Structures are given as structure tokens and as C-alpha cells.
Structure 1
Amino acid sequence: MDRRFLAGAAALPAFLSLAVAQQEAAMPDIAAAMLDAATESGDPAEIAAVAKAVKAVFPDYAEAIDASAQTRIAALEPPEAAEQEPAPTGGLLAVKPWDGKISASGVMSSGNSENAAVGVAVDAARTDGEFKHHVKAYFDYGESNNLTNQKRWGLSYKLDYNFTDRTYAYARVAYDEDDFSGFDYRLFGGAGLGHYFAKSEEFTWKLEGGPGYRYSPIDDTREIESELAVYAATELDWLIREGVKFEQDFNTTWTSPTTTFQSITSLTTQLWGDISTGLSFEYRYETDPPLGRVNTDTIAKASLIYGF
């Protein structure tokens, strides 16, 4: 092979790096940072999509943004090489294999606590062969005149095992704590079966349920409700159009002392790339709450969401 060709090929990465640096100098730092993040994915389509969004924000730098995106795409490893040497995923807790969202919200509540608050939440899932890991966490906090008037947080973990493309078994544990609910905290563990009655990119609907056990210490009396339970849930996701998604989740937990109903309705709209805005309304009803507490709580949220 011609030595001059080999020398030129060896110098290509350095040339492309220099070209990218020159192009970034002609655009805002935040635009270059967003292109850097897209380049890490190794996906030309993602680089092109981010470049399009950045141009919409910085139209005066369109030529430099286009040139930088094209240079980055040209510098990517050829698909054949990527297939031969797949990048390591980094293990179970690596960020890349997880799909989900992180949200920051403004919160308005009524019921056992009536106030404005702020909140953060994480909802992430990872599929590993026939198994699917699903983790959720949330924290809402409000304060007025140096007094806490809302503090609620919780987390849950669910493991699914897929028998078929639509039917699965699951095991689920959840912990919830709300300073104004009348319960010190609530701990639930259970297992059951689930089935997708509709499953496509545009529309999914599933039902799941099974037996469990709920442990609920009561704040004022220090009594403990420790009972066998039955859990049932349904989730509906509808992609109304590109970038606009409607979700309706409903679940109920039955025990002999009290039954809990929870409904969450949300609408998410994509702003650009992985950033979206969301509106949601949560309704919770307790058939027999602790003494001095009301049956119904409502929570409305306006959120800024990062998807990954």
C-alpha cells in the first residue's frame, strides 16, 4: 500500500479534531457542548437532530453548526468496525443501558396538605434479556414561614420476567412516606402477573396485579396496620403525535383496614432533543384514613423533563 496514503490516513483524526475546534470557535459554548454530548452517542442521526435543534436556537451560527456536525459525523467509526467491536456497557448500574426520565417540578397540593412545593422524580427502566428492571423515586418538599408544610418521598423497584412478548411475571417492593398523610410510612411487597393488551410504538396498554403485604405504622396512635394486600394497576401510553405523549396510570392497593386508589394523568411535550415539558394531575383516595385526616389528596405538577 502507498506510504503516502497510510500517512494521510494516520493524520486524518488530528485533522478532523483541528477542524472541529475551529468550527466550535465560531459558535456559542452551549451549542458546542450540546454537539459534544450528541457525538458521544456515536449515532449520526442523533448528531443531525441536535444540530437542527441548536440551529433553531442560534440561527446566526447555522453555517458553523452545520459544518461542525458534518465533521463529527465524518469522524465516527464506520458501522462495520462498531459491529465487530461493541463498546462495553459498564455493568448493571451503567447509565447508557437505562431508559427513562428525570424531572424537576412545581407542585400544587390539596387535601391533607394544601400548599405550593417543588419536586424531583426519576423513572428508569432497563431490559436485560427476559428481565426488565424498573426503578422509580420521587421527593416533594414545601415550606412556608420557615415551617415545612409538605414533605413526601418514596421509591420503588419492580422486576419483570417476560414469558412472551406480552405476558410477564413481576415482583415489586415500594416505600412511601408523607408527613401529612397520618401514616409514619408505608411499605409494600408483592408479586403477580401482567399482560400487554396493546403494544406498539404509538400505543401501549397493560394490566398487572397480584397478592402482597403492606406494613403501615400510624403516626398519632402508634398502631401498626400490617395486612395481606391485593395490588392491581393499569398503564396506558399514547403517542398522540411526534413529540406529544399522553399517559394514564391507575393503581389500587386493597387491605382489610383501608383501600388506596391512585390515578396519575400526564401530558408531555418535547421541546428539543431530550428536553420536554410536562403537566400532570394525581388523585389519591383513602377509604379509611387515620383519625383527623381527609380521604382525598390531589397533586398538580408542571415539570421540566430530561429523557435518557
Structure 2
Amino acid sequence: MTCKTLISSLAITAMLSSAAFAQDHQEMPDIARAMLKVAYDSGDPADIKAVAKAVKAVFPDYESAIAADADAKLAALSPPEEDAAKAQTAKATLETEQAQNKQHGVFAVSPWDGKISASGILSSGNSENAAVGVAVDAARTAGAWTHNIKGYFDLGESNNVTSQKRWGASYKLDYNFGERTYAYGRISYDEDQFSGFDYRLFGGAGLGHYLFKGEPFSWKVEGGPGYRYSPIDISREVESELALYAATEIDWLIREGLKFDQDVNVTWTSPTTTIQSVTALTTKLWGDLSTGLSFEYRYETDPPLGQENTDTIAKASLIYGF
């Protein structure tokens, strides 16, 4: 082959390749573009792929241009179900972050869990009579902090004369180090017209620990030093002493709707020691309503002059949980 012939062959090959390239990348026919547009308007990736395949079969010379156009559309198109899923995920993430923010810190805002009860009461000891009472017991956990509030009021009358009048409240703040151990600070106020004390004020701090912690059964103990202030009614003397406080609480879900509670606490001071035990059995009625039976035993080792050592209180209660 002569040099001239070789040059001519190379020129022809280059021209054919250039023509093929131009045809492969030129604008597709208007009818092909119109068919694809109908599929694009549907917004359905499956329709777009099916129509693009058919158009490429009809116009094989423009296959690359058709494929490139269809792929670009598919890449830009986000299916509605994916958008919904992404929106749902974003919403869930936001709600989780908001919840975590609310649960952070001692002053965080979060819901309270607890119960309110109304009771019929039979008492013996320093007060021997029938009475009625109301009580509240609530807790709120915010991150590592747990707020505990309790309050009660009992009132009894016989022949238009007050025969029992007891009320009090307490607040305890726990800081949880982990799943089982916590530190606490506690303050309480109790007033019993027939106890021999004008009132009793206690403040203290300490540590607590769950020996068992689960859904059907939990048992915790806590204790620490404190200070108790107790004015005496008759003598007007004031017992103002350093104190030691210890308590244990057992919660046992015997079966669905039936719960047993046993709480015992002891407050020691040099003049006297107070022991209190509350045993309760609660049965669920329906919804948030329950009934309960409880027995409270209180013992004072050295009560004021003329007062008995022992008081007992039996209660039948209607309880609303929240």
C-alpha cells in the first residue's frame, strides 16, 4: 500500500467515526422527546424506564442520547415514598433531640408519674376513731435527677369535735449515678394534733441503692445523716437534734393488676427514735383507677409525757394513677 493510499484510508475512517459520534450525540427526534416527556410527567421511575427502553428500540441510532436524558431525569427524581420516609425519619430525630433536651438538668420539664388517693381510715393509739384522708405521691425523672413529692391530710370528727388531724408533706431529690445507686437530699414536715408534738421538721441527705431493680420486683435501701426539729406541745420544750435516717422500700407486682408495697423507715435521735412501717396491697379496677388496702404502724421509743408509744392506721382507698 502506498503512502497516499494509507493516508486516504485513515481519512475515510476518521470521517466515518466522526459521523457516528455526531449521530450518537445529536439531539434526538422531537417525537422521541415527546414520548419521554409523557413518562417524565408521570413521575414514576418504572414508567420512565419502560418508555425509555421502548424509545431506544424505535430509535436505535439515538440510544445514547435517549439513555443519557432518561438517566439524568431518574437521578433528579426522588420517589414520594422516599420523601415521606426521609421526612418521618427527620421528625423522629427532632422529637428525640427535643426529648433529650427536656430531660437534661435538674430543672428540666418532663411529665410526673404518681397517684392521688382518697381514703376511709380507722385509727388506734393516740387517736381512736374513724376519719377520711387524701394523699398524693408523685415522681418526675429528668436525666440523672428524680424529684419525689408526697403529701397527706387526714381528718376525723366525733360529736362535732375533731378527733384526728394529721397532715404533712415531703420532698426528696435524687441524683442517679447509674442504674442502681443514687444520692439524695430530703426535707419533710409532719403535724399530728394528738401526737404530743406541735410539729416535726426533718432535713437530711444520704445515699440509696437498689438491691433488686426490675418490672415485677424492686427493693431499695437508703440512709444518711440529718437534723430533726420537734417542738413539744405541753412543755413547750424543743427537741432539736442531729439525726440518722434509714429506709427500705419493696415494690412487688404479684400479677397484672395486683401490687404489694412494703415501706419501712427509722429516724434516730438521742431523745427518741421513730419507726414507721406501711404495708399496702393495690388492685386495679379499670383504666387508671385502683383500690387499695394499707396498714400503717408507728412506734415512738420515748414519746412526750402522756402519749402512747404506738399508733396504727388502717386505710381503704380509691386511687387514681397518672
Task: Please report the TM-score for the alignment, with normalisation by the length of structure 2.
Answer: 0.68
Equivalents in 2 of 1:81, 1:114: separation in Å? 63
2:184 aligned residue: 170
Shift of 1:79: 7.3
Instruction: Give CA deviations for 1:118-174 in whole Å, capped at 9, x if unaligned.
Output: 000000001111111000000000111111100000000001111121011100000
Task: Flag the structure with larger Rg.
Answer: 2
Instruction: Give CA deviations for 1:91-131 in whole Å, capped at 9, x if unaligned.
Output: 9697x610000000001100000000000000000111111
Shift of 1:83: 2.5
2:250 aligned residue: 236
2:302 aligned residue: 288
Q: Percent identity?
A: 75
1:130 paired with 2:144, answer yes
Equivalents in 2 of 1:120, 1:305: separation in Å? 10
Does the residue aligned with 2:282 lie in a helix, a strand or coil?
A: strand
1:144 paired with 2:153, answer no
Distance 1:233 1:81, change over 3 A: same
Greater RCO, 1 or 2 (C-alpha within 8 Å, sep 6+): 1
Equivalents in 2 of 1:82, 1:144: separation in Å? 61
Equivalents in 2 of 1:209, 1:83: separation in Å? 41
Does the residue aligned with 2:279 lie in a helix, a strand or coil?
A: strand
AA paired with 1:83? Answer: A
User: Aligned-pair RMSD on alpha carbons?
Assistant: 2.1
Where in structure 2 are there 5+ consecutive unaligned residues?
Answer: 1-40, 42-86
Shift of 1:82: 6.1
Q: In structure 1, which of residues 65, 89, 97 is the aligned counterpart of residue 111 of structure 2?
A: 97
Work out whether residues 108 and 142 of structure 2, in 8 Å CA contact, stay in contact via their aligned partners in 1: no
Q: In structure 2, which of residues 193, 197, 206 is the aligned counterpart of residue 179 of structure 1?
A: 193
Equivalents in 2 of 1:288, 1:146: separation in Å? 31
Q: In structure 2, which of residues 243, 260, 275 is the aligned counterpart of residue 246 of structure 1?
A: 260
Equivalents in 2 of 1:280, 1:119: separation in Å? 13
Shift of 1:252: 0.3
Please show how residues 4-15 of structure 1 align to structure 2 within 5 Å: none
Where in structure 1 are there 5+ consecutive unaligned residues?
Answer: 3-77
Q: In structure 2, which of residues 73, 86, 92 is the aligned counterpart of residue 83 of structure 1?
A: 92
2:20 aligned residue: none
AA paired with 1:266? Answer: A
1:274 paired with 2:288, answer yes
1:302 paired with 2:311, answer no
Q: Which structure's residues are more often helix, by fraction?
A: 2
Equivalents in 1 of 2:196, 2:90: separation in Å? 59
Aligned residue-pair number: 231
Does the residue aligned with 1:234 lie in a helix, a strand or coil?
A: strand
Distance 1:206 1:117, change over 3 A: same
2:228 aligned residue: 214
Q: In structure 1, which of residues 91, 102, 110 is the aligned counterpart of residue 124 of structure 2?
A: 110
Runs of 4+ off more than 4 Å: 78-82, 87-94
Work out whether residues 155 and 165 of structure 2, in 8 Å CA contact, stay in contact via their aligned partners in 1: yes
Does the residue aligned with 1:164 lie in a helix, a strand or coil?
A: coil
AA paired with 2:191? Answer: E
AA paired with 1:116? Answer: A
Task: Please report the TM-score for the alignment, with normalisation by the length of structure 1.
Answer: 0.71
Distance 1:143 1:163, change over 3 A: same
2:76 aligned residue: none
AA paired with 1:185? Answer: Y
AA paired with 1:189? Answer: G
Equivalents in 2 of 1:221, 1:129: separation in Å? 47
Equivalents in 2 of 1:242, 1:81: separation in Å? 37
Does the residue aligned with 1:100 lie in a helix, a strand or coil?
A: strand
